Amino acid sequence: MSSIIWRLEEVKSIDSTNSWLVEQARDGAPEGRAILAGFQRAGRGRLDRRWEAPAESALLLSLLLRPATVRGASWAVSAVALAVRSALVRLSGVRPQLKWPNDLVVDDEKLGGLLGELVTDDPPGVVIGVGVNLTEYPPDLAATSVRDRSGVTLWPRALCDIVFEEVERRRPLLDDERGLAALRDEYRDASATIGRTVRVALLDQTVVGDAIDVDESGALVVAVGGERRVFAAADVVHLRAQSSAGDA
């Protein structure tokens, strides 16, 4: 496919970049529509949790992709997470791992998170929100920042530009089976969760087991009492260190 034509809106303050872009997507916005904010008054994470960051202290970005298939849409958040990871390596040397399903972590401290929202069109659209702690982070969380980890102060727009480059590099992988397999391999190499003992919290139960893989849809595969269980959505807590290095 040809390069994405990025149409970036930059705002000083907004309630939620994802909410704004979901509305744009529903109105037919093309792939490549994006918004970068200096501050979010009502930023959201998974399960409608609040995402708060002081003004200009974080990358607060949402972008729209329109993969050709539902499976491609299901991997879009992971593709963007890997793109953010590579952009951070290029600009700061910080190499976060991916905590399933959607966090960027360094030594189990949260550096950032992603939120994907499906817009049911034909082809489907996926709005992907990205938040990365560049200079500050909430004091009550086990978190970190790019500056704490590297001594480098990144400007949100500079990081945004490199994220776009890295997304473009992975975007073709979302449209065919061979590409999705390659994306899955890259995700496995970057995973902080595979190889860990984890606690998986669902709405009606909590289970403990060993995270052993992600399947073809990106769901987490966990060995629980000798049984393989697959979780498409859940909260996961790491309980012990990895038995082998999973970074790349």
Clarify whether residues 34 and 134 are in a common domain: yes
Q: Which helix (H) or strand (E) holds 85?
A: helix 76-92
Clarify whether residues 177 and 96 are in a common domain: yes
pTM: 0.91
- Cα separation, 214 vs 188, in Å, equals 7
Clarify whether residues 211 and 103 are in a common domain: no
The C-alpha angle 206, 220, 64, rounded to 5 degrees, equals 115
Q: How many domains does the chain have?
A: 2
CATH of the domain at 203: 2.30.30.100
Clarify whether residues 183 and 201 are in a common domain: no
Clarify whether residues 35 and 156 are in a common domain: yes
Which pLDDT score, from 0 to 100, does residue 47 have?
A: 46
Clarify whether residues 112 and 233 are in a common domain: no
Which pLDDT score, from 0 to 100, does residue 242 have?
A: 53
Domain that holds residue 207: 197-238
Which pLDDT score, from 0 to 100, does residue 52 have?
A: 65
In a domain, 246, yes or no: no
In a domain, 173, yes or no: yes
Which pLDDT score, from 0 to 100, does residue 139 have?
A: 77
Coil, strand, or helix at residue 87? helix
Clarify whether residues 66 and 138 are in a common domain: yes
Clarify whether residues 49 and 153 are in a common domain: yes
CA dihedral 66, 98, 190, 185 (to 10 degrees): -40
In a domain, 2, yes or no: no
- Between strands 33-40 and 7-14, the pairing is parallel
Which pLDDT score, from 0 to 100, does residue 241 have?
A: 61
Clarify whether residues 40 and 111 are in a common domain: yes
In a domain, 111, yes or no: yes
In a domain, 40, yes or no: yes
- What's the N-to-C CA distance of the chain in angstroms? 27
Among 190, 208, 227, where does a domain finish?
190
CATH of the domain at 179: 3.30.930.10
Clarify whether residues 161 and 209 are in a common domain: no
Which pLDDT score, from 0 to 100, does residue 55 have?
A: 72
- Cα separation, 115 vs 105, in Å, equals 15
- Cα separation, 190 vs 176, in Å, equals 21
Query: CB atoms < 10 A from the CB of 215, how many?
Result: 13
Coil, strand, or helix at residue 120? coil
Q: Measuring CA to CA, which residue among 108, 159, 88, 183 is closest to residue 98?
A: 108
Clarify whether residues 207 and 168 are in a common domain: no
Which pLDDT score, from 0 to 100, does residue 246 have?
A: 39
In a domain, 29, yes or no: yes
Helix/strand number for the chain, H first, E second: 6, 14
Which pLDDT score, from 0 to 100, does residue 122 have?
A: 72
Q: Measuring CA to CA, which residue among 172, 227, 170, 168 is closest to residue 200?
A: 227
Which pLDDT score, from 0 to 100, does residue 67 have?
A: 94
Which pLDDT score, from 0 to 100, does residue 50 have?
A: 57
Please give the average pLDDT of every successive group of 10 residues along the chain, which has 248 residues.
Answer: 87 96 95 96 56 79 94 95 98 98 95 95 88 89 95 97 98 96 98 97 93 97 96 92 44
Which pLDDT score, from 0 to 100, does residue 248 have?
A: 36
